[in-house]
Amino acid sequence: ALSGRQQATGKLVRNGEDKNAVICIEGNIASGKTTCLEYFSNTSNIEVLTEPVCKWRNLRGHNPLGLMYQDPERWGLTLQTYVQLTMLDRHLSTISAPIRMIERSIFSAKYIFVESLFKSGKMPEVDFAVLSEWFDWITANIFIPVDLIVYLQTSPQTCHKRLKQRSREEEKVIPLEYLESIHQLHEDWLIRKSSFPLPAPVLVIPADHDLQEMLHQFEENRDKILAASS
């Protein structure tokens, strides 16, 4: 799925696919990205790609996600290398509808999660350097189109509550402080626009509401979201 052709820009692009709209859904852990994607998956003309989290929990019988939460210093690089590969694969997979919605992106994997591990002292500098070299090479040489970022903006407290409710085994060790740091990194990137480059304009949807109100919010924002394809 990584094939492409060299263009004048020097980047690899997939044949004829750059005219489609790509929308990335970003937000904290348990901010409701899956609910958003499911809501729009009922719309014709939209294809929805959820995050490959099941791959991160089961790689040839290993659980890189679980290992990372148990011992981030040892396994952070392992998980994030694999996340980067699976996200790249998602971005470059064949598009089958005029609008593609994708859960997170290779950008948030690096700017939020790798950054968080490194900044909190849980990732050795050499691991961070290797991941950064990979990321820089990929983004310099492979065209990764994004037309719109939808940011589901939550409070860390809401995410903490939802996380406890869904009780995914690996995530039981996540403290509120971790969600606060992931929140801050999202805000710096997508709201303050002060940390890393933005691959596309940002549409903010407040996402602390209950399910019913969130579905209403998604409907209210439908036109703005779909405008990404025009």
Q: Contact residues for ligand DCP (CB under 6 A)?
A: 27, 29-34, 51, 53, 65, 68, 83, 104, 109, 113, 171
Nearer to ligand DCP, 43 or 78 (CB): 78
Please state the closest distance from residue 9 (CB atom) to ligand DCP, in A. 27
**191: Cα separation from own chain's centroid:** 16
Please state the closest distance from residue 37 (CB atom) to ligand DCP, in A. 8
Within a 10 A sphere around the Cβ of 56, how many other Cβ atoms?
A: 20
Cα separation, 111 vs 74, in Å, equals 20
Nearer to ligand DCP, 80 or 229 (CB): 80
Under 8 Å between Cβ of 36 and 152: yes
Nearer to ligand DCP, 34 or 78 (CB): 34
Catalytic residue (choose from 26, 51, 103, 115): 103
Nearer to ligand DCP, 56 or 226 (CB): 56
Q: What is the DSSP string of 22-35?
A: EEEEEESTTSSHHH
5-6/12-13 β-pairing: antiparallel
DSSP 8-state secondary structure symbol assigned to residue 13: E
Strand, helix or coil for residue 37: helix
Nearer to ligand DCP, 30 or 200 (CB): 30
Which DSSP helix (H) or strand (E) runs through 45?
none
Q: Is 103 a catalytic residue?
A: yes
Please state the closest distance from residue 189 (CB atom) to ligand DCP, in A. 13
Cα separation, 29 vs 230, in Å, equals 30
Task: At 68, list the tokens.
Answer: 């990372």
Please state the closest distance from residue 103 (CB atom) to ligand DCP, in A. 6
Please state the closest distance from residue 7 (CB atom) to ligand DCP, in A. 28
Please report, for residues 52, 56, 59, 69, 167, the alpha-carbon distance to residue 62 in angstroms, rounded to integers and kept in the order given: 15, 9, 5, 14, 20
What are the residue numbers of the active site?
103
